[in-house]
Amino acid sequence: MPFYHLCEERAEKLPDSIIFRGRTQPGMCPVLENNSAFYNYVISKRLCRLCKSKLEIDCEYLKQFELLTEPKIIFTVKENLNLLLQKTNPIVIIIDDVNIVDIIYHSKRFKLEAISLAKYYFSPELNEIFDALLTIKFDLVQKLVKEKKEIIEKELEQLENEIFKDYEFYKDIEINTPLHVLSILYNAIDKNLQFLPIRATIRICWEEWDLLGKRVVYQTATPTLKEKEVFDQLGEYDTIHEDAEPNPNWKVLQLKGAIYPLTTCLRSKQFEEVTSDIYELVLKFLKFLEEEEEMVFFTANKLQKSVFSHLKGEEKVKLLKHYEKGTLGSNCSKEALIGVVGGILYKNLDFYLKPPYIDLNDPILYERLLNQKIFDYPVERIISDDEVVNHIKQELGRIFRGDREKKKLCIVISGVKLSENGYIPEIGAVVEKRNKEEIKKR
């Protein structure tokens, strides 16, 4: 599941189920409950062994593993999936509203300055590794990490021990990022470890294919093209698909014409006029909303500080940023009767500079990256458009759910393609495309 509160909702209805929680969750680990930033330094593989608290008080985190021996339904978030696959042998794994790309592909970006600093916190025997990273000799990095694995393990163990004993000291000095470099290299060395130089940084990428050969049910109403491509690599699976029935009670009014990406919205007088007119209209409906009902605006963060700033503090109005947690796999806006998508937000270029969106074995692309000549999106327009459209559908899906008899309205201030045959098949909302004046009359 994407979030623990959704795990709780599902588990309540299934008595023979448990929720497996990570160590940073309240009440689980006496050390990390208030020190979750520990993970910014190291992976914390040895933390339980170092922890003296568990000798004096019950450790709720460790207790969970005793429950894994019996056949049960286990709910958890994606961050715990690979650990549970090592500890259990599930009959089936259900991935619900979590992007399969985020489960398999991982990356961490480090400034060159941070990598240089790392040399001062570890044994001189490891300087070769950091020097190779800084001089973009990535094949040598992989070779050295494998050769010096025992030394690295001892260094990390000593580091974890020091941080554990004197966390307050480490917390107050900004060395967490350089310390994390070695931990990432050590844990990802056998996971298709790859490197990508981007300007004054290096992105370390790795993959975890623990789902290969498993029986997986992947539940999502809005899979992107890239999600489908990645899931296909897990094996041969059947697709069970059913479009939602068109629901005349759920209406989307979509502005014709301009797509209105963020860059246009920030400088467009037309966008400002359109949004101003629409908001004046929809805000009049606030007084008719019941106590639990609300109006939700999905916008970019920069627009919340400019065009939408007057909405902050408005009673019964909720502002959500594109791509934030409340816009995905959540029921937090299901009582909303009105929604507005104010401008769309393409993911930035850097988002796509990693697998599976690019092939790091492509010599031409790699040469362009080394020479800092990446100015355009490295993926086809169909991919970047698909990511945007799917997220808008996710946002609309936060509102168009629950009672199908309740009338709901969303206004999308963008001409991006959302519907087929006049409705959104993933949701069932009926779409009407109108210009500004027609929306005002409608």
Say what the pLDDT of residue 180 is. 85
Asked, for residue 332, whether it belongs to a domain, the answer is: yes
Residue 269 lies in a domain: yes
State mean pLDDT over 173-199.
84
Report whether pLDDT(83) > 70.
yes
pLDDT value at position 138? 93
What are residue 275's phi and psi, to 5 degrees?
-65, -40
- The answer to whether residue 426 scores a pLDDT higher than 80 is yes
Of the candidate ranges 351-355, 374-378, 379-383, the one whose mean pLDDT is the lowest: 374-378
Name the amino acid, one letter, at 311.
Answer: L
Whether the CB-CB separation of 259 and 412 falls below 8 Å is answered with: no
Considering only CA atoms, which of 45, 287, 42 is closest in space to residue 159? 42
Backbone angles phi, psi at 297, to 5 degrees: -110, 120
Percent of the chain residues topping a pLDDT of 70: 92
Q: Are residues 218 and 338 in the same domain?
A: no
Residues 254 and 182 grouped into a single domain: no
CA dihedral angle for residue 162, residue 164, residue 168, residue 171, rounded to 10 degrees? 80
Average pLDDT over residues 377-399: 90
- Count of structural domains, the chain: 3
Residue 419's domain spans which residues?
A: 247-361+379-441
Q: How far apart are CA 44 and CA 56, in angstroms?
A: 21
195 backbone dihedrals φ, ψ, rounded to 5° = -130, 150
What pLDDT, on the 0 to 100 scale, is given for residue 363? 83
- 127 and 174 in a single domain? The answer is yes
Place of tokens 């936060």: 398
- The percent of residues above 90 in pLDDT, for the chain, comes to 37
- 167 and 68, same structural domain? no
Q: Are 294 and 317 in contact (CB under 8 A)?
A: yes
Domain match, 224 and 266 both: no
Say if residue 309 is in the same domain as residue 407. Answer: yes
Q: Are residues 29 and 45 in the same domain?
A: yes
Residue 145 lies in a domain: yes
Mean per-residue pLDDT, 362-381: 76
In a domain, 372, yes or no: no
**101 pLDDT more than 90:** yes
241 Rama sector, left if φ>0, alpha if ψ -120 to 50, beta otherwise: beta
Q: What is the pLDDT of residues 1-42, one digit of tens each?
A: 888 988 888 888 888 889 999 988 888 887 777 777 777 676
Q: Is the model's pLDDT at 175 over the cut of 60?
A: no
Whether 437 shows a pLDDT value over 90: the answer reads no
State residue 268's pLDDT score: 80
pTM of the full structure: 0.88
Same domain, 402 and 298: yes
Same domain, 316 and 419: yes
Mean pLDDT, the chain, whole residue set: 85
**pLDDT tens string 311-331:** 777 778 888 888 887 677 677
| pLDDT of amino acid 112 | 92
**Predicted confidence band at 52 (pLDDT cuts at 50, 70, 90)?**
low
Query: Which residue is it, tokens 């009049």?
Result: 284
User: Which CATH number covers residue 394?
Assistant: 3.40.50
Does a structural domain hold residue 373?
Answer: no
Same domain, yes or no, for 178 and 226? Answer: no
User: pLDDT (tens digit, 9 = 90+) per residue, 142-164?
Assistant: 999 999 999 998 998 888 788 77
Residue 182's alpha-carbon distances to 17, 143, 192, 427, 439, in angstroms, are: 38, 14, 16, 45, 56
Same domain, 407 and 321: yes
In angstroms, the CA 118 to CA 132 distance is 13
Q: How confident is the model at residue 421 (pLDDT cuts 50, 70, 90)?
A: confident
Residue 184 inside a domain? The answer is yes
For residue 441, the model assigns a pLDDT of 60
Structure confidence at residue 300 (pLDDT): 84
Name the residue type at position 367.
E
224 and 151 in a single domain? The answer is no
Asked whether residue 39 is assigned to any structural domain, the reply reads: yes
From 105-119, 193-207, 293-307, the region with the lowest mean pLDDT:
293-307
Sequence-ordered list of residues with C-beta below 8 angstroms from that of 181, at least 6 positions apart, any chain: 110, 114, 115, 118, 130, 133, 204
The answer to whether residue 370 is domain-embedded is no
Q: Which residues of 370-400 are buried (b: 16+ CB within 10 A; e: fewer)?
A: eeeebeebbbeeebbbbbbbbbbbbbbbbbb
Q: What is the pLDDT of residues 334-365, one digit of tens each?
A: 888 889 898 788 888 888 999 999 998 888 87
pLDDT band at residue 104 using 50, 70 and 90 as cut-offs: very high
